Chains A and B, each alone.
Chain A
């Protein structure tokens, strides 16, 4: 590499495993702290919405979950793409580690959306473009995970689920722009890169804090899962064991 940084050194499971282990507690602590502040802002500082009353407070969990569901899918597809391009096992492992958390946030986005839809629209579910494309995203996550478990050969499972994940990435912009492209019951974006925010400053702050909290939570959980995957898939030494512990294990034989 001409950059002078030995990237290969950090891309091996042996290097990633302890690094991830050291980072997890930090991300977890920041996630908990941000969630605490975000919930306080959302429930005690942000004002009542003049149209929707208190029902709008679902936004502080609904929008972050929906954003994470789309964002994690893109990150998963990027790792899948890197894995396919470089034939790199750790990249496939990252993609594998992201899928369950992404699926969970997709489910939560749909569920909290239903909880919001019932009091404001009078229906738990409508087949509008935003809701339908988000439901398809849930099926895509399920597909990526099922494809992996249905193929015994790990390398083939890696490649097949990576191709599936990459093809499905077209749905993400469809979800995002669905409220502009089609006449949906779902409201348009409250926060947009071109027009800024249409919300009260404290509402926006609470929503962004919760989004950041979910982000940190996702990183902690995904790093933790990728460590499990490394131990399960690579029958390599238990990297986190101290030499003394390995000595003890050897003596126990």
Chain B
């Protein structure tokens, strides 16, 4: 372990901005991708269920 304190850890020897930007943006991208897939799945399933239930609203065809 090379860190004596939390502030030293976050400072990353003066490179904190570069190191943490890299990790935070990577984490945000992954979280965003998972959430986008979650929404896409919900939308696809909802549309599918609507198609199963209703001949009533097939006016679009």
Contacts and interface: CB of A to CB of B under 8 A. Distances in A.
Nearest to A240: B45
A246 B48 CA distance: 12
Contacts of A112: 22, 25-26
A223 to B, nearest CB: 10
Given A54-B13, A58-B19, A104-B29, A228 B40 contact: yes
Binding site secondary structure of chain A: helix
Given A62-B22, A116-B22, A228-B44, A108 B15 contact: no
A109 B36 CA distance: 21
A157 B40 CA distance: 20
Given A55-B18, A115-B21, A224-B41, A249 B29 contact: no
Size class of the A contact interface (CB-based, 8 Å): 35 or more
Interface residues of B, number: 30
Given A53-B15, A112-B26, A228-B40, 8 more contacts: A112-B25, A115-B21, A116-B22, A118-B18, A221-B33, A224-B37, A235-B48, A238-B49
Interface of A: 43-45, 47-48, 53-55, 57-58, 61-62, 65, 100-101, 104, 107-108, 111-112, 115-116, 118-119, 217, 221, 224-225, 227-228, 231-232, 235, 237-238, 246, 249, 252-253
Interface of B: 1-3, 9, 12-15, 18-19, 21-23, 25-26, 29-30, 33-34, 37, 40-41, 44-45, 48-49, 51-54
